């Protein structure tokens, strides 16, 4: 009888984990103009990391990387304080950096997330720079983060676009993507803790 009870408990645990993982994948909104593939899915009881790239790309060659994560923090802090700490970390990861935000973003649930953008001239050790939009929600000691990183050719100064002459279509597409990215993090801010 004990073995049967243990099997039922194990079954309930496995079903609960599967349902939790399924709901995790349903609680994110991805731009519909592209097909996306989940390339990273790490999950444990307290944390998760999910990364998406456009179909046919991998994490290293991706021009656009979407990330949703949940992290347990060592101590309680506000969403605003946590996004500012991410901004500080960006200083050491970029050759030059600019920030927009953080900006308070009210949620339908009554709480507040914070959104912001980090513009990185060149990511240290990588041949590209990035515009990274993010939304952050901290509840107690749990941080929920959604980032949309659009990679671009590196440039000497953050926020200065460096494209080849005659690449008007590439510039237009990049500008459209950063506009979509900014809206995307706001749209996903309400889904962070789901």
**Domain ranges for the chain:** 30-189
Each residue of 13-23: pLDDT tens digit? 333 333 333 33
Number of neighbours of residue 46 by Cβ within 10 angstroms: 10
Please choose, from the candidates 62, 59, 60, the residue with its C-alpha nearest in 3D space to the C-alpha of residue 41: 59
> Do the bridges between strand 36-43 and strand 142-153 make them parallel or antiparallel, or are there none, so unpaired?
unpaired
Please, are residues 150 and 131 in contact by the beta-carbon 8 Å criterion? yes
Work out the pLDDT band at 115, boundaries 50, 70, 90. very high
Tokens of 40: 């990273």
What is the reported pTM? 0.81
Rounded distance between C-alpha atoms, residue 178 and residue 104, angstroms: 19
Lowest mean pLDDT among 35-39, 61-65, 134-138, 156-160: 156-160
pLDDT of residue 97 exceeding 90, the answer is yes
Lowest mean pLDDT among 40-44, 66-70, 171-175: 171-175
Domain 30-189 has CATH 3.40.50: no
* 23 vs 78, higher pLDDT: 78
**In which element (H, E) is residue 47 found?**
none
Rounded mean pLDDT of 106-126? 92
Rounded distance between C-alpha atoms, residue 86 and residue 22, angstroms: 28
> Do the bridges between strand 64-72 and strand 142-153 make them parallel or antiparallel, or are there none, so unpaired?
antiparallel
Each residue of 155-189: pLDDT tens digit? 999 988 867 777 788 888 888 998 999 999 998 88
């Amino acid at each position: 009888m004990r073995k049967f009870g243990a099997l039922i408990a194990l079954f309930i645990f496995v079903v609960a984990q599967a349902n939790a993982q399924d709901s995790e994948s349903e609680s994110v909104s991805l731009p519909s103009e592209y097909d996306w593939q989940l390339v990273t899915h790490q999950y444990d009881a307290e944390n998760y990391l999910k990364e998406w790239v456009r179909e046919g790309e991998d994490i290293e060659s991706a021009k656009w990387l979407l990330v949703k994560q949940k992290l347990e923090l060592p101590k309680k802090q506000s969403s605003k304080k946590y996004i500012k700490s991410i901004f500080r970390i960006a200083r050491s990861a970029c050759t030059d950096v600019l920030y927009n935000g953080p900006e308070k973003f009210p949620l339908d649930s009554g709480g507040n997330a914070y959104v912001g953008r980090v513009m990185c001239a060149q990511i240290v050790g990588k041949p590209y720079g990035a515009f990274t939009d993010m939304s952050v929600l901290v509840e107690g000691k749990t941080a929920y983060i959604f980032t949309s990183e659009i990679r671009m050719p590196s440039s000497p100064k953050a926020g200065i676009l460096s494209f080849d002459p005659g690449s008007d279509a590439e510039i237009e597409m990049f500008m459209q993507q950063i506009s979509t990215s900014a809206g995307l993090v706001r749209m996903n801010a309400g889904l962070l803790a789901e």
